[in-house]
A and B are shown apart, each in its own frame.
Chain A
Amino acid sequence: MGNPNVGKSVIFSRLTGVHVISSNYPGTTVGYTKGAMKLGDGEAEVVDVPGTYTLEPTCEAEEIALRMLETGDVVINVVDATNLERNLYLTLQLLERKVPMVVALNLWDDTKHRGITIDLDRLREMLGVPVVPTVAVGGEGIKPLVQSISEARSPGFPARTSEERWMAVGKIIDHVQRVSHRHHTWLERLADASIQPVTGGIIALAVLAGTFVLVRLISESFISYVLDPIFNNLWAPVVLKVSGWLGGGGLFHDIVVGTINGEEIDFVSSFGLLTSGLYVSVAMVLPYVISFYLVLGLLEDIGYLPRLAVLLDTVMHRLGLHGFAIIPTLLGFGCNVPGVLATRVLESRRERFIAATLISIAIPCASLQAMIFGLVGERGARYVVMVYGTLFVVWIVMGLILRRAVRGFTPELLIEIPPYRLPSWRSVLQKLWMRVRGFVLEAVPIILLAVLVINILYSVGVFDAIADAAAPVVTTVLGLPREAVSALVIGFLRKDVALGMMAPLGLTDHQLVIGSVVLAMFFPCIATFAVLLKELGVVNLIKATVVMLLAVLAAGGMLNLILS
């Protein structure tokens, strides 16, 4: 247990191995991680409790932490050695309880850099429990820490009021800590620059651009060099065999394998479980999920995200969001799926709903953007600008509307801004593993299920019926030809393919712009739909869908009016 940003996760990753489970405390969005470590001759379960500043519950995370405290045998209190004044408050609260504990005095190396000297023996004396200095990122002090667990004690300090505790902290500090002056390191200078409005803005743009480029680079390389070859060279022959066994056609065959022409397989349009189902989840979405979480983990551990949230906070509040909501939004540009998944980091339900809805409506994913640049770009660059411009306006306007329309609150910003720290690869990779694993176990089955359902509906003729019913609206309000409707319907599966289907329709430039905007805004692709269902729940998903449909009609209709 310990304050946020003290390195609990790194210590956790040092103590446990790879087999770590990330969970949500039941009925909340607060997460915790569980793992196992070697202790003596046997094993012990380790739980990484959400960071708290105090045991007095002022927010959900702290209530959870308090409850978890009751279930533990030993507490490892991770303390930031460079911030004793604040960290010791929690330590004293823990000492008042009956749970045996040890203190891991982390970031020990940083104390030298900051000119802080701590009298360890005196501190041990005054706290009455083992105190082990650690540098979790480098792995120092972990062995002694594990050994000290057997000596964990509970001195059982008397219960104090908040005032008394702070005075006690002050007394300990006086006896134990000396601070001398030293110069700013370059990291600190960078940290200061990142938060000032002007320099911070420049750095933010650089970071965001870098993130975008990096995520795309990693994903696309992975897809082109690893996944596509595997699917085309190894998996395709297997599928063809299965196709043969199933008779090459017929309902069951089409559901499992999809429509193929017997020789080659187009993994995107075939629609079968073994083909599109697997390909969409593994070879199109998963690479983005991995690269996104990798970059996010790095940014988190370096400590940049709070600064970004601060810079953008004002703007985001106008849209009913919190500064932090910029992260999921920007990553929706790579793929909406990790974007929506990332809305988990936001504190209130209202924010999560607004952020997720805005992402699904107004943020086009990378593959769709590629098609936009390709098809619309052919007609002229200004049409591409029109498409992006419209989407941006939609994002802002919808944000303004949702802010008023959605009940609930968006909390004001109150966060600690940690200093920049070089991340530990171990911790980043372990986090990555947990998140990717979560995605594979949660989202993939839903995507497969959705492909199955769509297939069934398609063969039964539901889609044609929908197309017929929607045609009048599409032609009058949106000004698109009737045939465009089936492209929109395909948009539920893959937006890039759907845009491609509009190409041979002989649309005018303006119609193509409208078509692209409508496609981007209208109904998320199945993968996004699946995670929206998971993150928002059925009721909110329906609400979001209604919002989307109305927005599409409004935007498309207005564009139609303006452009003709």
Chain B
Amino acid sequence: MPEVRTCSLAQMGTGQRGTVIEVAGGRGLAGRLDALGVRPGKRITKISSEIMRGPVIIQVDRTEIAVGFGMARHIVVRPD
């Protein structure tokens, strides 16, 4: 079975594209992210990461979303 490389959203490189695999963390977190379109299977692009563990900005479809660093660590992504 081939290795599937995954990392958290926080670790992804700026400008990279990837697919959301899983949103770890409580139901509340998953619910809020889900409503914004961040769901398993969704393609996203990481637009920027603020310095000093600031919020991460991603693009989902045609929307930009800022995600707090702590939350970003709970989002598992498979980069392209």
The 8 Å CB contact of B61, one of A56, A83, A314, A415, is A83
Chain B residue contacts of A166, Cβ below 8 A = 39
Interface size bucket, A side?
20 to 34
Chain B residue contacts of A197, Cβ below 8 A = 48, 50-51
Q: Are A53 and B35 in contact (CB under 8 A)?
A: yes
Chain B residue contacts of A248, Cβ below 8 A = none
The reply to whether the CB of A86 lies closer than 8 angstroms to some CB of chain B is yes
The proximity string for A residues 186-208 relative to B, scoring 1 for CB distances below 8 Å and 0 otherwise, is 00000010011100000000000
Interface residues of A in 415-444 (CB under 8 A from B): 415-417, 419
State whether A417 and B33 are in contact (beta carbons under 8 Å apart), knowing that A197-B50, A412-B70 are contacts in the complex: no
Main secondary structure of the interface of A (DSSP, over half): helix
| Residue from B37, B48, B63, B71 having most chain A Cβ neighbours under 10 A | B63
The reply to whether the CB of B5 lies closer than 8 angstroms to some CB of chain A is no
Interface residues of A in 310-341 (CB under 8 A from B): 310-311, 313-314, 323
Q: Are A413 and B37 in contact (CB under 8 A)?
A: no
A401 to chain B, nearest CB (A): 21
CA distance A417 to B66 in the complex (A): 7
Q: Are A314 and B52 in contact (CB under 8 A)?
A: yes
- Count contacts between A and B, CB distance < 8 Å: 86
Q: Are B55 and A413 in contact (CB under 8 A)?
A: yes
Q: Are B31 and A314 in contact (CB under 8 A)?
A: no
CA distance A192 to B64 in the complex (A): 10
Give the residue name and chain of the A residue nearest to B58 (CB). Answer: A417
Main secondary structure of the interface of B (DSSP, over half): mixed
Q: Are A416 and B63 in contact (CB under 8 A)?
A: yes
Chain B residue contacts of A195, Cβ below 8 A = 47-48, 57, 64
The reply to whether the CB of B36 lies closer than 8 angstroms to some CB of chain A is yes
CA distance A86 to B62 in the complex (A): 9
Interface residues of A in 162-183 (CB under 8 A from B): 162, 166
Chain B residue contacts of A534, Cβ below 8 A = none
CA distance A54 to B39 in the complex (A): 14
Q: Are B54 and A417 in contact (CB under 8 A)?
A: no
Give the residue name and chain of the A residue nearest to B27 (CB). Answer: A58
B65 to chain A, nearest CB (A): 5
Chain A residue contacts of B51, Cβ below 8 A = 197, 314
State whether A58 and B28 are in contact (beta carbons under 8 Å apart), knowing that A313-B68, A414-B66, A414-B68 are contacts in the complex: yes
The 8 Å CB contact of A58, one of B35, B53, B68, B69, is B35
Q: Are A310 and B66 in contact (CB under 8 A)?
A: yes
Q: Are B35 and A56 in contact (CB under 8 A)?
A: yes
- A sample of 15 cross-chain residue pairs with beta-carbon separation below 8 angstroms, ordered by A number, consists of A56-B35, A58-B31, A86-B37, A89-B35, A196-B48, A309-B66, A310-B55, A310-B57, A314-B53, A413-B55, A414-B65, A416-B63, A417-B57, A417-B64, A417-B66
- 9 smallest beta-carbon distances between A and B, as pairs: A412-B68, A53-B35, A54-B35, A314-B54, A417-B64, A413-B68, A58-B31, A85-B61, A310-B66
Q: Interface of B with A (CB < 8 Å)?
A: 28, 31-37, 39, 47-48, 50-55, 57, 60-71
> Other than the known A311-B50, A412-B71, what 16 A-B pairs have Cβ atoms closer than 8 Å?
A54-B35, A82-B62, A83-B61, A85-B37, A86-B37, A162-B34, A197-B51, A311-B54, A313-B54, A313-B55, A313-B68, A314-B51, A314-B52, A412-B68, A416-B64, A417-B64
